[in-house]
Structure 1
């Protein structure tokens, strides 16, 4: 595993072994200048899917983290009770963090869906403009 802070690499699938297998996505491949889009339509669809998939992974993690937030002490002595209390507090903090990450991923997917809508509108406008041109040689 590389040293340093982990960074999101959209070309990686983190469910694969240590996220080392590239997905083969285009992610920002150059597109023709024009309507101001950095990504082509296929890449936008891929980005939506990746953000939705990442949100689903966080939801699955959250479901498991709920068990940490309700941890019970294994015994009745003071140390067990104190340990369980600290574990529950950690679990609650984890739930808050996962909720924030889920919301962030959902917002990112929504942004790319909105971009897809703008992309489709621009495509329709360009198609309409082309169709209004006179046919044949001028």
Structure 2
């Protein structure tokens, strides 16, 4: 299987990497959930592609075996590989979104903690 390209840069608020997609902190969780929904759909697609890729001939005669071994399995394996690549890309994209979002959340928590600590000890 050839390599899956990395996702485009992702910026959430001021966190992450600029130059690609940019999301506001309040919207990134909804975007992550959409990508997770897509990933669940791809899991089902992969199962269906496996059924095609792993097909067995219905009989022991030449016509069935030839069709399965030269056509169906080849197409099924290509379909399966494409779905697996898409799933890997989606996994990478979800991870990148969560990473960019996590940086924002960590920064917000640090700011909140700094505000809370202001004035203590006076």
TM-score (norm 2): 0.69
Residues 1-138 of structure 1 mapped to structure 2, 5 A cutoff: 35=14, 38-85=22-69, 86-128=71-113, 130-131=115-116
RMSD: 2.6
- Relative contact order (alpha carbons < 8 A, sep ≥ 6): 1 or 2 greater? 2
Deviation at 1:124, TM superposition (A): 2.5
Mapped partners of 2:14, 2:67: distance in 1: 58
Mapped partners of 2:64, 2:47: distance in 1: 24
Q: Which runs of 5+ in 2 are unaligned?
A: 1-11, 17-21
Alpha-carbon contact 1:73-1:81 (below 8 Å) kept: yes
Count residues with an aligned counterpart.
103
Mapped partners of 2:56, 2:39: distance in 1: 28
SS state of the match for residue 41, structure 1?
coil
Deviation at 1:46, TM superposition (A): 1.1
TM-score (norm 1): 0.62
Between Structure 1 and Structure 2, the one with more helix by share is 2
Alpha-carbon contact 1:66-1:91 (below 8 Å) kept: yes
